[in-house]
Structure 1
């Protein structure tokens, strides 16, 4: 079991190996297809991003409406492959931790190795469990995207498994 604090230090990322059970603590951003597209386009135009990628992680989450007593409703992972066209560029510009479900492209896996990042897999069907790990949720940018807005979460003991590590090892 590995505890990963976000924002992370480079040393923390290098300790995590493919196959490790990882528990995330701290600030975790949520961004899906449309957020990734906007971040990618902003980088291409040389614009300032609404968040700092260095030190932070992005969770590919499909949120549901808030439930009394919780920061969000169900907060399960969505398919990571939809972010693959944008992920190598985001990794090049500082993103190092990605959390989602399902396989990644060979291009993303190569970029994870090149930029010393991690791909952590969250468990599908565990939206209620993940919701219980979220202590706070707020919209950071792109509110017009509704449930696909860029969110900032504060999480405690969010369970994942490392699928791809900074050394290029991939759990299959």
Structure 2
């Protein structure tokens, strides 16, 4: 098990290998389909986006509503390939990692290698468990989208597996 603290250990992402089990701690940002669409539209129109994506990790997830006095809510990965059409722009903005579930297109594998990023997977169906790894969660942009807003979440020992490493090795094509 490899422990990674974000942003302090961001350079260590390039040293990870496909199949490594990782416990992520630090800041991660959620983004799903609608947020990606909004961000890419702003990027294509040369408008400022509401969050600096350089050296960030995007978790393809939308949390359940947070109950009063709770630190977090159930949160699980969504299918990543749906974000493939937006991923090139995210990588160009400096995103260094993605968390989701399922395989990615060959094009995205090549781009992850080009940008020396990493794609992590985590198990679907364990949203309640994953919520225990969240210390803080707050919507920071596109709040009108509810669970599809951008959330900044502070995670502690969040479990994932390296599915695509920065050399383009893909766990789904072994």
Superposed CA RMSD: 1.4
For 2:46 and 2:117, the matched residues in 1 are separated by 23
For 2:167 and 2:155, the matched residues in 1 are separated by 26
Contact 1:88–1:107 (CA under 8 A) maintained in structure 2: no
For 2:53 and 2:62, the matched residues in 1 are separated by 21
Where in structure 2 are the equivalents of 1:44-59 lying within 5 Å? 44-59=44-59
In structure 2, what is the equivalent of residue 166 of structure 1?
166
2:170 counterpart SS class: coil
- Cα deviation per residue 1:7-64 (whole Å; 9 max; x = unaligned)? 2555311111100001110010000001111111111111222111112101011311
For 1:108 and 1:31, the matched residues in 2 are separated by 17
- Cα deviation per residue 1:62-93 (whole Å; 9 max; x = unaligned)? 31122466422211111111111000121122
For 1:127 and 1:94, the matched residues in 2 are separated by 27
TM-score of the superposition, structure 1-length normalised? Answer: 0.94
1:128 maps to 2:128: yes
Q: What count of residue pairs does the alignment treat as equivalent?
A: 172
In structure 1, what is the equivalent of residue 7 of structure 2?
7
For 2:28 and 2:77, the matched residues in 1 are separated by 13
For 1:84 and 1:77, the matched residues in 2 are separated by 15
TM-score of the superposition, structure 2-length normalised? Answer: 0.93
For 2:127 and 2:36, the matched residues in 1 are separated by 22
Specify every segment of 5 or more residues in structure 1 that has no aligned partner in the other structure, as ranges: none
